Amino acid sequence: MPSKHQVSLLALAGLAAAAPSKLRKREALPDYAITYAPLSYLYSGESWFPSDVTVHLANVKPEVDYVAIGANNSVTLDTLDSYASDVYLTASDGPIYDPLDGTPAWLSSDYGIPDSDGLSAAPGLIIAAEKNSTTTDVFYFYFYSYNYGGKVLDINFDDHVGDWEHVMIRFVDKKPYAIYCSEHSAGSAYYWDILDFSGDRPLTYIAYGGHANYVTSGTHDYTVALGLISDTTDAGYLWDMTLNYRGYWYDVDSEEFSVASGAGKGATEEADESADWLAWLGYWGDEQYPDSLIDDLETGQYCIDDECRYSSGPTGPADKNLGRSTMCQKDDCTIFDNIDDLTKQS
Ligand SMILES: *[C@@H]1O[C@H](CO)[C@@H](O)[C@H](O)[C@H]1NC(C)=O
Ligand SMILES: *[C@@H]1O[C@H](CO)[C@@H](O)[C@H](O)[C@H]1NC(C)=O
């Protein structure tokens, strides 16, 4: 018969063996990640609001090559990382989403409309990544169940289910150094001192529909294959992500995520969750319809050159170069040292 001491050791060993990596927890996020967090404004005419990833998952099914896979055709934060990276989280009540008519409620996510304090019921995500002894990058991830792509010459393009955007602040010796804002497939970086602030916190503006992030309000033009698109921002709905978020650490060497502190509903939900879902490299929306369904009445899909009305859903945080050494997600980039030259038309 084992001694009392041995029993407790055996029990401990059993626990460790059974322990899922969900027990991978680290200390709270650094204070500066919250003190200097962006205060963001959604556009006053926005129709596609912040979404809770768990609500999103409850409304999609995993598909590969347009065929549902997996147990019960369902996926949760706990099972997400068990799926391969060729999986598309496809809307269960698809395929038609006319952005202006008959959109399912979970896609427009009215529950995520921030209240007058800037509190959204949809938790944001704050992920800290320590780069070395002096530099830590803090990523603020914004998730929406739907991306309304906007219009070129009055024709709507690039709608998709699922939309991940982010702002990153680089801290050197715990002080903010510069900020990066994701804008469509790229983004821009700006030195800290040139931003507009409310107290210690920089103001960012989230464009209508496609949710690109900017540091000035007004109209921002960018070019796509077919021509010019304008992003519209204004100080519509204040969204203060620090009131409701899931917090994580990202280890640059092991590429693993750990649970840190959160706040509000995000913290409550996160307490029972694994961080492993963040490592999943698949797609958060439907796959772009196959060519055989272009101009098909049921899908409503059309394409001009390579630009289509409905495109594939995006990949998640793990695919956004969290280990970057430069400020920008892709390659090297200029860090703007003046925001007065940026387009401000309204
Ligand atoms: C599938 O559904 C059954 C019945 O509702 C449930 O017991 C089981 O846990 C589900 N499996 C998964 C992997 O969700
Ligand atoms: C720390 O990492 C940042 C970002 O990659 C880099 O610019 C900086 O030179 C590094 N500092 C040290 C001391 O290694």
Q: What is the pLDDT of residue 304?
A: 87
Contact 140, 125 (CB under 8 A): yes
Q: What is the mean pLDDT of residues 308-327?
A: 95
Question: Residue 71 CA: which ligand 1 atom is closest?
Answer: 13
| 44 CB-near residues (< 8 Å, 6+ apart) | 234, 235, 236, 237
* Angle formed at CA 252 by CA 246 and CA 255, multiple of 5 degrees: 75
- pLDDT grade for 7, boundaries at 50, 70 and 90: very low
Output the CA 129–ligand 1 centroid distance in Å. Answer: 35
Q: What is the pLDDT of residue 345?
A: 37
CA proximity to 284, closest of 141, 140, 174, 132: 141
pLDDT digits over 167-202, tens only? 999 999 999 999 999 998 789 999 999 999 999 999
| 342 CB-near residues (< 8 Å, 6+ apart) | 214, 215, 216, 220, 336
Between residues 344 and 313, the one the model is more confident about: 313
Q: Is 82 in the pocket of ligand 1 (CB under 6 A)?
A: no
Structure tokens at 15: 């626990």
pLDDT digits over 106-163, tens only? 999 999 999 999 999 999 999 999 999 999 999 999 999 999 988 887 888 889 999 9
Is residue 343 over pLDDT 70?
no
Is residue 98 over pLDDT 90?
no
- pLDDT grade for 5, boundaries at 50, 70 and 90: very low
The whole model's pTM is what?
0.90
The span from the first CA to the last CA of the chain, in angstroms, equals 80
Query: HSE of 59 in the Cβ direction (CA atoms, 13 Å)?
Result: 23
Mutate to test the pocket of ligand 2, among 130, 133, 135 (most ligand atoms within 8 A of CB): 135
- pLDDT grade for 15, boundaries at 50, 70 and 90: very low
Q: Which of 2-16, 28-42, 101-115 has the highest mean pLDDT?
A: 28-42
Between residues 293 and 60, the one the model is more confident about: 60
Output the CA 71–ligand 1 centroid distance in Å. Answer: 7
Q: What percent of the chain has pLDDT over 70?
A: 89
Mean pLDDT of the chain: 88
Output the CA 76–ligand 1 centroid distance in Å. Answer: 11
Is residue 21 over pLDDT 60?
no
Q: Is 173 in the pocket of ligand 2 (CB under 6 A)?
A: no
Q: What is the pLDDT of residue 20?
A: 47
Q: Is 72 in the pocket of ligand 1 (CB under 6 A)?
A: yes
Structure tokens at 275: 């961080």
